[in-house]
Amino acid sequence: MNSISTKDEIKTLNDLCFQIPKSELHVHLEGTLDPEMIFKIAERNNAIENLPSNFKSLESIKKSYNYKNLEEFLEIYYLASKVLLKEEDFSEIVMNYFKKVLNHGVKYAEMFFDPQSHTRRGIKLETIIKGLLIGLKISEERYGIKGNLILCFLRDLSEEDAIKTFQNFLELKELKIVEDSLLEKIIGVGLDSSEIGNPPDKFKNVFKLAKEKGFKLCCHCHDEGSLENIRKSVEELNVDRIDHGIDIYLDENLLNKCVDKRIPYTFCPLSTKKVQRTPDLKVYNLDGLLEKDLLVTVNSDDPAFF
């Protein structure tokens, strides 16, 4: 009898988890590319031949979604996003994501995108932005979920490259490539990708520029030594939000400062575990942080990969 009641309890808990209304604040659109979608888009673009050997079939793509650390994960992640070539491909990732999370109770999603990972492959920024915003418009109407976008800079590239990307984006805004209300859906800038050796202060000028232009600022602080990166993001970049930031429990003073400034943290437990940042999530003491009044949310990061 015990086992039956436990199963029932799990089923009820599972149903409850699905039904609770949710805000997703930390999800990378490129990280929602599941193997089925990669294969479908590659086929549509007649690009299967251009895929690397471990991406030639659906089965081999599935097998390659396996990594020991952040660097290994990023390698597969960038490989996967190479299938995105046309406006409709970018629209489709938003629509596919909204379709999936409709049944997970998501009511609002703030989604990152990495323009430089596509522009450096020769894709025009206009194609990326237009595709994503049109996809977002269709998705909001179709699924009744609200969404906004955050333009992320790749921290392993130079600040000069980030500034160029941001200025290109501002020019496209001026040109009104889509209606104003849609362009306003890009509400902030972020910093992601390879963290070690690429601290937040490397991007001081582009973040200052974005703040002046009215954008919200956030920064990933996740890898080894991220506590110092949290400090720099808060004190030097004046960010509005820390993404991940799980090491904040190590510094009481900095933690209190974030509580006072109401700086939220977007934790992503599953990705933290999968890139083996920690064997045991309990060390981060989520309950304790909430008790101290730190604003912590739980998010999915790159759901197709984790």
Helix ranges, 103-222 (H): 115-119, 125-143, 159-174, 180-183, 204-212
Minimal distance, residue 116 CB to Zn ion, in Å: 15
Minimal distance, residue 264 CB to Zn ion, in Å: 14
**Residue listed under structure tokens 């009820």:** 12
**Residue listed under structure tokens 């595709």:** 131
Minimal distance, residue 26 CB to Zn ion, in Å: 6
- CA-nearest of 265, 261, 206 to 230 is 265
Taking the least distance from each CB to Zn ion, the nearer of 172 and 186 is 186
Taking the least distance from each CB to Zn ion, the nearer of 28 and 118 is 28
Taking the least distance from each CB to Zn ion, the nearer of 89 and 301 is 301
100's CB contacts (< 8 A; 6+ apart) are: 32, 303
Minimal distance, residue 86 CB to Zn ion, in Å: 25
Residue 171: HSE in the Cβ half-sphere, 13 Å Cα cutoff: 8
- SS3 category, 23: strand
Taking the least distance from each CB to Zn ion, the nearer of 110 and 301 is 301
Candidate segments 165-173, 176-184, 205-213, 294-302, binder of Zn ion by CB under 5 A: 294-302
Spell out, one character per residue from 246 to 285, where the chain touches Zn ion: x when CB under 5 A holds, - when not.
----------------------------------------
Taking the least distance from each CB to Zn ion, the nearer of 87 and 192 is 192
Minimal distance, residue 189 CB to Zn ion, in Å: 14
Helix, strand and coil percent figures for the chain, each rounded to 5 = 55, 15, 30
Minimal distance, residue 221 CB to Zn ion, in Å: 10
Minimal distance, residue 60 CB to Zn ion, in Å: 25
Taking the least distance from each CB to Zn ion, the nearer of 139 and 193 is 193
Q: Are 147 and 184 in contact (CB under 8 A)?
A: no
Minimal distance, residue 1 CB to Zn ion, in Å: 44
Candidate segments 15-23, 70-78, 114-122, 297-305, binder of Zn ion by CB under 5 A: 297-305
Candidate segments 140-148, 194-202, 207-215, 295-303, binder of Zn ion by CB under 5 A: 295-303
264's CB contacts (< 8 A; 6+ apart) are: 25, 241, 242, 295, 296, 297
10 Å CB burial of residue 56 (0-12, 13-18, 19+) is middle
Under the criterion CB under 5 A, does residue 114 sit at the interface with Zn ion?
no
Q: Which residue is nearest to Zn ion (CB)?
A: 301
198's CB contacts (< 8 A; 6+ apart) are: 155, 156
Taking the least distance from each CB to Zn ion, the nearer of 195 and 301 is 301
Candidate segments 13-21, 137-145, 224-232, 298-306, binder of Zn ion by CB under 5 A: 298-306
Q: Give the rounded distance of the alpha carbon of 97 from its chain centre.
A: 12
Q: Which of 241, 301, 305, 306 binds Zn ion (CB under 5 A)?
A: 301
Taking the least distance from each CB to Zn ion, the nearer of 40 and 273 is 273
Give the gyration radius of the chain's Cα atoms.
Answer: 19
10 Å Cβ neighbour count for 129? Answer: 25
- Interface residues with Zn ion (CB under 5 A)? 301
